[in-house]
Amino acid sequence: MADAQNLDTLLKESRRFEPSEEFRANANYRDPAIYERAAADPEGYWAEEARNLDWFEPFHTVLEWNPPHAKWFLGGKLNAAYNAVDRHRKSYRKNKVAFFWEGEPGDTRVLTYDELGREVDKAAHVLSKLGVKKGDRVTIYLPMIPELPIAMLACAKIGAIHSVVFGGFSANALRDRILDADSRLLITADGGWRRGGIVPLKQNADQAVEGTAIEKVLVVRRIGEQSGAAWVEGRDISWEAEMAAAPSTPYPAEPMDSEDILFLLYTSGTTGKPKGIVHTTGGYLTGCNTSMRSVFDLKDEDVYFCTADIGWITGHTYVVYGPLSAGATIVMYEGAPDWPDRDRFWQLIEKYRATIFYSAPTLIRSFMKWGTEYPKRHDLSSLRLLGTVGEPINPEAWMWFHEHVGGGRCPIVDTWWQTETGCAMIAPLPGLVATKPGSATRPVPGIVADVVDEEGRSLPPDQGGYLVLKRPWPSMLRTIWGDDERFRNTYFGKFEGIYLPGDGAHVDEDGYFWILGRIDDVINVSGHRIGTMEVESALVSHPAVAEAAVIGRHHEVKGQAITAFVVVREGITPSDELVNELKQHVVQQIGALARPEEILFTAELPKTRSAKIMRRLLRDIAEGRVLGDTTTLADPSVIEELKQKYAHRE
């Protein structure tokens, strides 16, 4: 459960920041009655929000709730790409910039809504020519280049389901996701730029597709000759050649049922197998569109910059579908925040006069370490609103962000949500809600959250418990792809009809929520979810490893870091070389994001008498705490030995 140290620090936090009079006066949401109105009639509230989208056919029923299955906006027909792009082409936004894109090496591309729409139409023709049909899955493994949102929107336009896999995942991880989704088409690039180096996407893709149903690989040229990427005749197809040959006529948007699937996005859970989170068209789009206007206070004149990679849910919702459906101008950046120097984000904000900046606590902690000289080099006066997501933000990082990036004048929206929730669930409406550093404040209108005990009873203020969402909401996941049983057990197995996100939290006297982190075997490294079992499976797939236990321990910058305790097979001698080899093995199996920070060899793992690994004790050791209850251990000497070993590692 929530660790006590964390709780103490949070409880001591009593600073409050009100929005400025100017911000309040100009905010989209100025009347606090919105909260009561939405609470009194949530379905009416969401129906009103849904009508901000363009529907080919109106919905006749707002919600059908057969727990744990929800259907929203029944009978309604719409298309996500039409809402994200085409409707703006028909409006005064036709020549408004949709994307200011900046490549890591400094190349740039500007796409207006009309230009973006033309690209999406061409790409839809290309996909259609390749035989992609409504309901087919298309896996996309691309860097942060304009072709990524174009490919996603092209899928949406023809009704195909996209499954974007983050470019930092390995060939193995990509293969697992292709197999699970049963995709026939993969869209990738010859490589991507990262800190001046080349990410070998095509090489990974070539390995990944072996033994899968992939028939064609559409390859975007990002790097060129230097990439060293191989070409498989008959299977590989050039994106550029196909786009050049595609008809220049509009591609008619497929009218999708509100409940038709828009995309799958894989995320980690408590087993070794990632879950394909299923999002549908009408509800998801309503959720992300609403939060652009409410949480991000988006206006037509804003220039909006979200630093997330589109390979994660934050990028899906807040680089692509949310801001585009709301007609925003988006800054999209390909590379690392410290390339060529540690002021890259600040330089981009100055260059494009960004007004809204949405980033992650782990990055803010890096900025803090790098020092104030970097933001000071640039004029950040265009900013008016800041946001964070991915993990609890420590009050020091919040204050630093507030002062050194926001100049003390910008409200900060700390947004709590998940891949499964589709869009922000707990976050301030910045003109209405005073903020407290470290708290995501209160649920957005239309969302009912609570903190409950083991039996599902609401807890009084300041008592830690399970965070739950008590009513269905439009952008909630509908199921796990191919595994409805797992969906039911994971999210609705503990409390009947109530959604369990897997986070611990408490609510303070003012009704503010304080998120305390995961309560399951999921580690949050730099805002990215990694299952302990995934890393353990990767480790035991190495021939030298007999057993492994993985935990997340506190890390100053990453929030949590991965520590692995490993038992080697008989005849194997632990060594520094083996440590490096095992780290590399995990990178190969999953990706660099899962690389263990440290690996410790041990003769045995601490287990209960029923042979369950006691990860709680391993966490205590790694974080240097007094050991918790050890009475259930089968062999208490194991833990003493481990403790000594850990204390004496270099």
- Rule CB under 6 A: is residue 415 a binding residue for ligand PRX? yes
Q: Which of residues 531-550 bind ligand PRX (CB under 6 A)?
A: none
Residue number with CB closer to ligand PRX (115 or 420): 420
Give the separation between CA 16 and CA 406, rounded to whole angstroms: 16
- Rule CB under 6 A: is residue 518 a binding residue for ligand PRX? yes
Strand partners, 381: none
> With CB under 6 A as the contact rule, which of the stretches 47-55, 149-157, 242-250, 495-503 interacts with ligand PRX?
495-503
- Which of 29, 417, 466, 487 forms a contact with ligand PRX (CB under 6 A)? 417
**Minimum gap (Å) between residue 189 Cβ and ligand PRX:** 23
**Minimum gap (Å) between residue 73 Cβ and ligand PRX:** 23
Residue number with CB closer to ligand PRX (261 or 313): 313
Q: 37 φ, ψ to 5°?
A: -60, -45
- Which of 469, 515, 549, 618 forms a contact with ligand PRX (CB under 6 A)? 515
Residue number with CB closer to ligand PRX (413 or 568): 413
Residue number with CB closer to ligand PRX (63 or 265): 265
Question: What sign does the CA torsion over 140, 146, 147, 150 have?
Answer: positive
Question: What sign does the CA torsion over 204, 205, 206, 212 have?
Answer: positive
- Which of 524, 526, 537, 560 forms a contact with ligand PRX (CB under 6 A)? 524
Q: Which two tokens stand for residue 119?
A: 């690209």
**Minimum gap (Å) between residue 465 Cβ and ligand PRX:** 15
> With CB under 6 A as the contact rule, which of the stretches 10-18, 79-87, 120-128, 515-523 interacts with ligand PRX?
515-523
- Rule CB under 6 A: is residue 416 a binding residue for ligand PRX? yes
- Rule CB under 6 A: is residue 530 a binding residue for ligand PRX? no
Give the separation between CA 105 and CA 197, rounded to whole angstroms: 10
Strand partners, 218: 187, 237
- Which of 206, 391, 521, 534 forms a contact with ligand PRX (CB under 6 A)? 391
Q: What DSSP assignment string belongs to 258-310? A: TTSEEEEEEE--SSSSPEEEEEEHHHHHHHHHHHHHHTS---TT-EEEE---T
Give the separation between CA 224 and CA 329, rounded to whole angstroms: 29
Q: Which of residues 294-353 bind ligand PRX (CB under 6 A)?
A: 313-314
Residues 464, 425: contact at Cβ < 8 Å?
no
- Rule CB under 6 A: is residue 389 a binding residue for ligand PRX? yes
Say how many residues touch ligand PRX, by CB under 6 A: 22
Residue with nearest beta carbon to ligand PRX: 419
- Which of 126, 153, 164, 440 forms a contact with ligand PRX (CB under 6 A)? 440
- Rule CB under 6 A: is residue 445 a binding residue for ligand PRX? no
Residue number with CB closer to ligand PRX (145 or 440): 440
What's the N-to-C CA distance of the chain in angstroms? 30
What CA–CA distances, in Å, run from 209 to 164, 215, 244, 290, 457?
Answer: 15, 9, 26, 38, 48
Q: Which of residues 118-147 bind ligand PRX (CB under 6 A)?
A: none
CB atoms within 10 A of CB 475: 27
- Rule CB under 6 A: is residue 526 a binding residue for ligand PRX? no
**Minimum gap (Å) between residue 251 Cβ and ligand PRX:** 31
Residues 386, 413: contact at Cβ < 8 Å?
yes
**Minimum gap (Å) between residue 162 Cβ and ligand PRX:** 17
Q: What DSSP assignment string belongs to 124-140? A: HHHHHHTT--TT-EEEE
Single-letter residue type at 369:
K
**Minimum gap (Å) between residue 145 Cβ and ligand PRX:** 22
573 burial type by CB count under 10 A (0-12 exposed, 13-18 middle, 19+ buried): exposed
What CA–CA distances, in Å, run from 558 to 534, 562, 620?
Answer: 19, 10, 18
- Which of 139, 227, 362, 418 forms a contact with ligand PRX (CB under 6 A)? 418
Give the separation between CA 648 and CA 59, rounded to whole angstroms: 65
> With CB under 6 A as the contact rule, which of the stretches 124-132, 345-353, 412-420, 578-586 interacts with ligand PRX?
412-420
- Rule CB under 6 A: is residue 441 a binding residue for ligand PRX? no
- Which of 503, 521, 536, 620 forms a contact with ligand PRX (CB under 6 A)? 503
- Which of 387, 428, 446, 501 forms a contact with ligand PRX (CB under 6 A)? 501
Q: Select from 526, 594, 590, 516 the least CA-distant residue to 555.
A: 526
List interacting residues with ligand PRX (CB under 6 A).
267, 313-314, 389-392, 414-419, 440, 501-503, 515, 517-518, 524, 529
